[in-house]
Structure formats: C-alpha cells, structure tokens
Amino acid sequence: MALRQGSERHPLIPTNRGKTLSTPSRDFPEVISVCRNLIYNSRMKMNDIPFGITDWSQVPVSEHPGETGSATWKTCEFGSTRVRMVEYSPGYLADHWCNRGHILLVLEGALTTELANGEVVTVEAGSSYQVGNDVEAHRSSTREGVRLFIVD
C-alpha cells in the first residue's frame, strides 16, 4: 500500500487531528513496517546517547525575537537531537514559517499554531503535537505566553 499523494501520511496511521483510521488485520505487518521506517530513517537519530540527567536551571538561555514578542530557549544537543525548554512571551508571533519536525509538549499556557494550509490549532497545557521534517510548514503564536518542551 502506497502513501497517499500529497498527504505524506500512510492511510493506516492515525492522523494528528484525532481521527483514527481503521486498520484491517491483514495490513498490520505493513503498519509495523511503515512505523519502523519512520523511526529508523528519520532525521532525529537517537543513537549513542548515554543515560544522562539535564538540570534545566543550569542550561544557558538564548533569546530569539519574534515578529512580535520574543522566545527564550534553553537548548541541549544530544547527537543530532535537539531538546529545548522554550518560553514565548505574551503576544509572541514567530518571525518565520518552520519546516523542521518537532515533538512539542505544552507545559504551561496555550500555543496557537498556524499551518501553511490555513488551518489553525490551539494546543493547551498537558497536550502535545508532532510534525515531521518538511511535512507541514507551521508558525507559532501565543496571546498570554506559553512554556514548551520541544524535541527535534
């Protein structure tokens, strides 16, 4: 079974919009194969990273201005994997469209993300989103400020 043209999603993989597509049992091995390929052939390689603990209070802060507001990042690199604690100030709007893949968890506040197709989603504290590299361009904003944990 091939990927649907234009969607870049396998038809048996749950979408990131809360709709789970049915999976016939005869296609289950293919689902496993697709998942393995996504994990092992992705840009985020989690190889050769020894066990470690990060004390985020000791990680230096860098500031990144947005179109409005600003973002502060605490960044650690583990191999090719970047892990960040990010805070967006109230009224923040990113100054760019991002094509990088992320797994993003909202720790405090609410994050609004605009997708290039015009869709707008709001992710609140305790929820997360994930998007692959070069899959859907996205741009973040927040009205009241937000605190995030991001892996990419």
Q: What is the model's pLDDT at position 48?
A: 85
Q: What is the model's pLDDT at position 43?
A: 56
Model confidence at 38: pLDDT above 60: no
What's the CA gap between 2 and 30, in Å, rounded?
10
Write down the domain spans for the chain: 1-41, 56-151
pLDDT in tens, 48-61: 889 999 999 999 99
More confident residue, 35 or 141: 141
Six token digits for residue 90: 């109230």
More confident residue, 135 or 17: 135
Model confidence at 66: pLDDT above 60: yes
Q: What is the model's pLDDT at position 8?
A: 42
Q: What is the overall mean pLDDT for the chain? A: 81
What's the CA gap between 123 and 47, in Å, rounded?
30
Q: Which residue spans within 116-145 are E strands per DSSP?
A: 120-124, 128-131, 138-141
- What CATH number does the domain located at 56-151 have? 2.60.120.10
The SS3 call for residue 26 is helix
What's the CA gap between 58 and 71, in Å, rounded?
18
What's the CA gap between 45 and 54, in Å, rounded?
19
Q: What is the model's pLDDT at position 79?
A: 87
pLDDT in tens, 96-150: 999 999 999 999 999 999 999 999 999 999 999 999 999 999 999 999 999 999 9
Model confidence at 28: pLDDT above 80: no
Model confidence at 1: pLDDT above 50: no
Q: What is the model's pLDDT at position 22?
A: 37
138, with CB counted inside 10 A (0-12, 13-18, 19+), is buried
pTM for the predicted model, two decimal places: 0.71
